[in-house]
């Protein structure tokens, strides 16, 4: 961490503790973060840290993004869609958008006026994105978008959605383009159900529908059709690191809260921490958490130097999220029955952790990427 990263860490921690932490339980009960969380985060410079200042961001690098996401997670905001908004959606526009597109959309994403989403998955296509059926067909100077998406993070709140669509349905990967849909200006766009799920209770993961949504040609991201797959592939290592670093923070939090609990709880005339089993379990969990952080830090360091390859990022996403699953399970066990209760955050970590082996590319797909590079 540079000096700047350390300062940001203190600032982010202070901001999250004063503005968000007092309300986390209420938001958990309501199963949604209020809309103002986004604008508050934007105002405090906690969105779009990597976006240059001229487009409304903070002009930082992925290290800044990681520091901020870690602050959200250490505070218990594991279902907040900001890491996806800032670390995935905005970078697509920054990297591949035209100057006009960057000026049009990035300041709104950075301020929180817009909430961003990325819509890749469909009912019939998740891992195998070449199978997507959503189309964006050019008619004169408009594109007409038809199709449906599923499991979309920020789905109910999103103002700007990067939609993966086929501009040439006869082609596989080469026919894919990224279309930007502004929800308020897209008749025919409809939000479907907010999906009920195992964890991430506050997240508005949703279905989205596009029925003859007419977009100006300027809403094709970039200038050329058929670049979507390449654009997606280019951003993948960073997306995987966002999930990996999140897993690291969750592991640290799980171990920390468990140590605190077993120091107080008693059975058979002893504190739970005095049983050797407890000590060994926590020694193992702590070790996994430290290994995970060391590996993820190294990957981020490589990423900052432009040297993070796809396979290493895939290893990091797969290993840290798998390790989190095991650590969360072992820690929960040490809470006994209380660990199963929603009011004990360890139960939320256990539930929220599960999806991290599934999204941003399943861990099986991560192993495929690694295997291809053996
Ligand atoms: C809470 C949540 C939030 C999400 N947010 C978003 C979002 O914001 N935007 C978005 O676009 N998507 C999002 N997703 C979707 C997510 O990315 C997909 O669920 C994921 O990519 C897997 O796709 P699938 O569900 O279609 O599973 P499938 O692709 O059908 O896979 C089913 C199983 O088969 C395995 N499998 C598939 N292919 C292979 C293979 N070649 N070799 C070995 N095993 C294989 C998979 O690993 C998995 O175990 C989200 C999902 C969830 C649950």
Which pLDDT score, from 0 to 100, does residue 235 have?
87
Residue with tokens 């952790």: 353
Which pLDDT score, from 0 to 100, does residue 94 have?
97
Core vs surface per residue 315-327: b (16+ CB within 10 A) or e:
bbbbbbbbbbbeb
Query: What's the token pair of residue 258?
Result: 């468990």
Report the share of the chain in percent with pLDDT over 90: 97
Query: What's the token pair of residue 99?
Result: 């100057």
Which residue puts its alpha carbon closest to atom 17 of ligand 1?
359
List, for residues 8-52, the tens digit of each pLDDT value. 999 999 999 999 999 999 999 999 999 999 999 999 999 999 999
DSSP-derived pairing of the beta strands 142-152 and 206-216: antiparallel
Find the Cα–Cα–Cα–Cα dihedral 84, 89, 94, 99, rounded to 10°: -150
* 217 in contact with ligand 1, CB cutoff 6 A: no
* 364 in contact with ligand 1, CB cutoff 6 A: yes
Ligand 1 atom closest to the CA of 155, numbered from 1? 8
- Using a 10 angstrom Cβ sphere, with 0-12 exposed, 13-18 middle and 19 or more buried, the burial of residue 3 is exposed
Which pLDDT score, from 0 to 100, does residue 143 have?
97
Of 65, 202, 239, 252, catalytic: 239
* 129 in contact with ligand 1, CB cutoff 6 A: no
CA of 360 to the centre of ligand 1 (A): 8
Instruction: Tell me how far apart the alpha carbons of residues 5 and 61 are, in angstroms, rounded to a whole number.
Output: 10
Among 116, 120, 121, 367, which is best to mutate for testing ligand 1, by the most ligand atoms less than 8 A from CB? 121
Nearest CA to 87 out of 59, 142, 50 is that of 50
Query: What's the token pair of residue 236?
Result: 């993948």
Instruction: Tell me how far apart the alpha carbons of residues 210 and 148 are, in angstroms, rounded to a whole number.
Output: 6
Other beta carbons within 10 angstroms of residue 342's beta carbon come to 11
Residue 121 Cα distances to 47, 150, 255, angstroms:
24, 6, 33
Query: What's the token pair of residue 52?
Result: 């240059």
239 is catalytic: yes
**pLDDT band, residue 236 (cuts 50/70/90):** confident
* 151 in contact with ligand 1, CB cutoff 6 A: yes
3-state helix, strand, coil in the chain (%, to 5): 55, 15, 25
Nearest CA to 356 out of 161, 31, 30, 84 is that of 84
């Amino acid at each position: 961490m540079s000096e700047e990263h350390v300062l940001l860490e203190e600032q982010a921690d202070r901001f999250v503790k004063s503005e968000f932490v007092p309300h986390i339980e209420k938001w958990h009960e309501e199963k949604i973060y209020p809309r103002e969380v986004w604008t508050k985060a934007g105002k405090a410079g906690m969105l779009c840290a990597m976006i240059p200042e001229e487009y409304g961001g903070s002009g930082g690098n992925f290290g800044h993004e990681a520091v901020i996401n870690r602050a959200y997670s250490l505070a218990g905001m594991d279902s907040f869609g900001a890491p996806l908004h800032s670390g995935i959606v905005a970078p697509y526009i920054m990297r591949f958008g035209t100057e006009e597109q960057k000026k049009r959309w990035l300041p709104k994403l950075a301020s929180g006026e817009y909430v961003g989403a990325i819509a890749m998955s469909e009912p019939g296509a998740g891992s195998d994105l070449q199978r997507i059926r959503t189309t964006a067909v050019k008619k004169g100077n408009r594109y007409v978008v038809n199709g449906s998406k599923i499991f979309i993070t920020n789905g109910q709140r999103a103002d700007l959605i990067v939609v993966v669509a086929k501009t040439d349905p006869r082609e596989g990967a080469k026919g894919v383009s990224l279309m930007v849909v502004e929800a308020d200006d897209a008749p025919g766009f409809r939000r479907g159900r907010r999906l009920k799920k195992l964890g991430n209770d506050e997240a508005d993961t949703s279905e989205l529908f596009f029925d003859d949504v007419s977009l100006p040609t300027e809403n094709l991201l970039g200038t050329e059709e058929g670049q979507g797959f390449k654009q997606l592939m280019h951003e993948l290592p960073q997306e995987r690191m966002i999930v990996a670093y999140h897993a690291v923070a969750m592991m640290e939090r799980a171990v920390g809260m468990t140590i605190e609990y077993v120091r107080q709880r008693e059975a058979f005339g002893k504190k739970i921490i005095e049983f050797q089993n407890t000590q060994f379990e926590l020694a193992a969990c702590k070790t996994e958490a430290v290994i995970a952080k060391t590996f993820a830090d190294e990957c981020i360091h490589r990423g900052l130097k432009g040297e993070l390859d796809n396979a290493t990022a895939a290893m990091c996403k797969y290993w840290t999220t798998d390790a989190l699953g095991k650590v969360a399970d072992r820690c929960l066990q040490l809470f006994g029955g209380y660990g199963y209760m929603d009011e004990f955050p360890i139960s939320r970590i256990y539930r929220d952790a599960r999806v991290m082996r599934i999204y941003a590319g399943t861990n099986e797909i991560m192993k495929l990427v690694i295997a291809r590079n053996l």
